[in-house]
Structure formats: C-alpha cells, structure tokens
Amino acid sequence: MMRSLWFTVVYALIASVQPAATLAQAPKDPQGDAKSPGQKPVPAAGPGAADKSKAGDAEPAPQGNPEDWMKATLPHEAHQRLQALAGTWSLAVKTPGGPDGKEAESPGKAQFRSVMGGRFVIEEVQTSLGGEPFEWLGIHGFDNGKKKYVSSWIDNMGTGIDSMEGVWDEAGKTLTYTGHVDDPGAGESSKVKWVMNLGPRDRLLVQMFEVDRTGKETKVLEIAGIRSQ
C-alpha cells in the first residue's frame, strides 16, 4: 500500500512540474542536491559509508515511463461494468427450503455507490435471515495488475473479512467470483462461488454457492434486485 502511494505521489509530481524530457536534460549536482549561491558543498560520504546502510531502509526509485505507469492505475471498461450498479435496489433474498421444502424469502435493500474516481463500488445491504437482521458491506473493483475482479466484504454475523477474485463472461454478462470463507464453528474454511448477472440495467441476480471438496455446488442464497433509484 505504501509503495503504491509513494509511486503515485512521485509520478504526479513529475507530470505536474515539467516534462520528463526536460528533467532528463536538467543539470545535476554531482551529489544529487541543488546548491544555492554561497552554499558550501556537502562533503561526500567517506569510504565504507555505504556499508552502514541496511537493505530495505529506503523505497526503490520508480522505474519505467511515468506516463505508462499512471495509465495502468486508471479505471477502464472493466471498472465501468461495476459502475452500472450505482444506485438503490429493492431486493428479494431467498434461502434454501426448510423441512417443508419451500424457499424462505425476505425483502431487502441495497445501496451501491462509486468511490475513488470510479475505481471501486461500495455495496451496503440490509435484509434479514432466519428472522434476524442481516447486513453486509462489500467493495468491488478490478485489479489492473492481476487483471481480475476483486471483492472483499464484512457482515454482522462474523468478525472476519472475506475476499474473492472474479472473471467476466461477456456472453452471459456475468461476473463470477470464487474464494474461501472461514467457518468459525468448524475451525476451517470453505470454498464459495458468487455469480452476479449484470445483463439488464435495472435487474440484478446474484446466486451464492458453497463448493465441497469434490467440486459439488450447493446454492445457499439467491438475491433478485430491481433498481428503485
């Protein structure tokens, strides 16, 4: 996180102060620092000074073309797909059938909002599960470095932060996330899969599955949303 912040600040300063070509032609002080008139030169470090430094004490200087690096940090089409979720949604949350074989359905509300210049979308959901209030907060984005969608979330039924990575299927207009979530009761993690259908602009369908060790999928939650604002 700190390295990314450092690179961003350095490149922003380079771009705003003067072109890279001008910087390359600017005269350099032999010791790397500009001296004002009358200022005494700073003595060079004596022999063996370099041996006293420790590896990792300083961040490495940014490498490559600043313009190319900055371009890689900007949002693009993959991020725009998520931006289409921005707004308020009315939800119908379904859970698997109980002893009577019928699905339980609860109403809910979701709010998606764009943050960080269109790079991420924050999701806030309020509904109920088994008669108890159920809410979660998630964040969705696309990692340009990994070339994958990424998501993390928290909810009021746990104390952990879960994360997944996803891929986009243009033909089906679906975003499929996979990852692992911790089960505090069992003391182990389980594989999960979320399939988000982002086809119709004013409709949203999310299906959540548990995946056992044999690869068998069991649907544990389905969310149907209609845009209300």
Domains and CATH numbers, the chain: 1-25+49-73 (no CATH), 77-227 (2.40.128.20)
Residue from 82, 76, 89, 69 nearest 14 by CA: 69
pTM of the model: 0.70
pLDDT tens digits in sequence order for the chain, 229 residues long = 433 433 343 344 334 434 433 333 434 443 444 444 444 444 444 544 444 444 445 555 556 678 878 888 899 999 999 999 999 999 999 998 766 778 889 999 999 999 999 999 999 999 998 889 999 999 999 999 999 999 999 999 889 999 999 999 999 999 999 999 887 766 778 899 999 999 888 999 999 999 998 999 999 999 999 999 8
Long-range pairs, 113-120, Cβ under 8 A, ≥24 = 113/86, 114/83, 114/86, 117/75, 118/75, 118/79, 118/80, 118/83, 119/75, 119/79, 120/82
The pLDDT of residue 5 is 36
